[in-house]
Structure 1
Amino acid sequence: MASSRDRQRKLARAKLDRQQARRAATAKRRRQVQAGVGVAVVLALIVAGSAWALGAFDSDPTDQTALDNEVCAWTPQDGNANTSLKDVGLPPTADLPTEGTRPMTITTDQGTITAALDLAVAPCSAASIDHLAGRSFYDNTTCHEITEEGALRCGDPSGTGIGGPTYSFYNENVPTGTPEASASPAPEGEPAYPKGTVAMIGTAPGANGSQFLLFFEDFDPEEPTYPVIGRITDGLDVVEKIGDLPTVEDAVGNKVKPETDVTIQTLTVGQPGQDTAPASPDAG
């Protein structure tokens, strides 16, 4: 029996020795790899430093000018993942107007609505709408929702609430209560979204595309989320009339769809400086 126990002890000792040897070899290889990576990083830094000193990373003056003139950034969206998106290319990013207003004319089967898009606070929203309008993106589409907030929601060719172009862009001019640098407070005593306001609405907060809101009632939430992009200058009475339409359930069961289809026949955007004077909130 003593001989058997000795043999078991020897086998166990040999197994332990082999395990320790494997651990030691593994640790050695790890140290070697780490040392190699460290040397590679140092060499890369030396090469990069030399290249920088020689001007290899200096921007081409033309490229730098283009970067300096960039106003907007567009984030691509996957049209395969969301088949409600429509690919009409990307708007320009640079040399966009950032002063004054641009007129937007929405001709619907219920009447015509005009608005002034504010280029100073929402240049990218204006650039996006202009780009889409120039490609007939909005033509013959429906305003698919009369919201509980007192606004008409338009701009989704699919009528689903998740449609738009194959790009999105950030919030520009959300009223007080949001972290955006461009957020601007509403005048004292005035709601964040007085009737007549034109605002963007994203398929997700901060992911704006083509959809917009036309407010026919004052709306003053504690935490505003919609970027204000302009004001209705004529045809507020048309929006108010649409707001009085009865609603039925939409595809997901929300009673927000106008019982009578509200169709945008055409939507056009004019040049900066045309009919730029915003109307008062009660303009019709």
Structure 2
Amino acid sequence: MTKVATTVLTVTAACSGLAWTAVSLTGNSIDPKPPVSCAYTPTTKVKSASIPPFNAKKAARPYTAELVTNRGTVTFEALTEEAPCATNSFSFLARKGYFDGSKCHRVTTRGIFVLDCGDPKGEGTADPGYFFKDENLTGAEYPAGTVAMSKVVPGRNGSQFFISYADPQFRMSSEWTPFGRITGGLDVVREIARNGTRDGSTDGRPKKAVVIKSVTVRQEAADAPGKSSG
């Protein structure tokens, strides 16, 4: 083989190596996406059955949730792919009847427009016995119809959540995990807000009590229906 031919082969091989490296760097690798893992950390001494089990495949199944309240019914589509830890937790609590009989404890009517729920004590301070970290925060926004985790301590999500019934008057910082999108009943939440707060302020307890009677979770898979007790 001539020296020229050898040089050509060497350059070709080098270029092929660079091309493969470029493909790898641009994300067109054949390596599979790492599996999602969710950690639920106990906040009190609770039984293991009180902590949500997590199976990535099952948690990814789309589902809708129906919240039946004394003011009307609200439904939302769970963002299971974007926020699997939050949606898995919500489904787990709903199936246990955790939300049944609880009161939504806060409504805001200026700046941000949200209804806060998810604390069985109706105080906005309780947790379900565990917490989990934030997710789905990159570029997160909270327009009308958003369902997102509500929390008192940064990075510690539990059972509390809020529903945005109108677009905020300013850009909210991306601090609360969005995990659902309202598909029905947003008018119910808007009516609750129109009634105002108990003390007449723009941020307080709803003037007319809002009680969650039941929460039903319906998954697309035929073998995984779910309904909260009560």
TM more than 0.5: yes
1:208 is the counterpart of 2:157: yes
Structure 2: which amino acid aligns with 1:155?
Answer: G
2:186 is aligned to 236
> Aligned residues, how many?
186
1:73 is aligned to 39
Pairwise CA distance, 1:100: 5.6
CA RMSD of aligned residues (A): 2.7
TM-score when scaled to structure 2?
Answer: 0.73
Kept after mapping to 2: 8 A contact 1:72/1:124: yes
The superposition leaves residues 235-277 of structure 1 with CA deviations (integer Å, 9 ceiling, x where unpaired) of 1111111111221249xx9951011100000012111469xxx
Aligned counterpart in structure 1 of residue 103 of structure 2, from 135, 142, 146: 142
Kept after mapping to 2: 8 A contact 1:107/1:265: yes
Kept after mapping to 1: 8 A contact 2:145/2:165: yes
Kept after mapping to 1: 8 A contact 2:147/2:164: yes
Separation in structure 2 between the aligned mates of residue 243 and residue 150 of structure 1, nearest angstrom: 8
1:113 is the counterpart of 2:74: yes
Higher RCO structure (Cα 8 Å, ≥6 apart) = 2
1:270 is aligned to 218
Q: Percent identity?
A: 35
Separation in structure 2 between the aligned mates of residue 79 and residue 144 of structure 1, nearest angstrom: 26
Separation in structure 2 between the aligned mates of residue 87 and residue 203 of structure 1, nearest angstrom: 24
Shift in alpha-carbon separation, 1:222–1:238, aligned structure 2, 3 A: closer
Pairwise CA distance, 1:99: 4.0
2:11 is aligned to none
Aligned counterpart in structure 1 of residue 209 of structure 2, from 253, 261, 268: 261
Moved over 3 A (4+): 95-100
Kept after mapping to 2: 8 A contact 1:88/1:166: no
Separation in structure 1 between the aligned mates of residue 125 and residue 97 of structure 2, nearest angstrom: 19
Kept after mapping to 2: 8 A contact 1:141/1:157: yes
Q: Which sections of structure 2, spanning at least 5 residues, go unmatched?
A: 1-33, 223-230
Q: Which sections of structure 1, spanning at least 5 residues, go unmatched?
A: 1-67, 81-85, 175-182, 187-191, 275-284
Pairwise CA distance, 1:101: 2.6
TM-score when scaled to structure 1?
Answer: 0.60
Aligned positions of 1:242-257 closer than 5 A: 242-249=192-199, 255-257=203-205
The superposition leaves residues 109-165 of structure 1 with CA deviations (integer Å, 9 ceiling, x where unpaired) of 110000000111011111101111111100011111003520100000011111120
Higher alpha-carbon Rg: 1
Kept after mapping to 1: 8 A contact 2:192/2:208: no
Structure 2 counterpart SS, 1:247? coil
Structure 2 counterpart SS, 1:104? strand
Shift in alpha-carbon separation, 1:224–1:95, aligned structure 2, 3 A: closer
Aligned positions of 1:160-171 closer than 5 A: 160-171=123-134
Structure 2 counterpart SS, 1:232? strand
Kept after mapping to 1: 8 A contact 2:61/2:219: no
Separation in structure 2 between the aligned mates of residue 102 and residue 258 of structure 1, nearest angstrom: 29
Separation in structure 2 between the aligned mates of residue 208 and residue 269 of structure 1, nearest angstrom: 20
Kept after mapping to 2: 8 A contact 1:72/1:93: yes
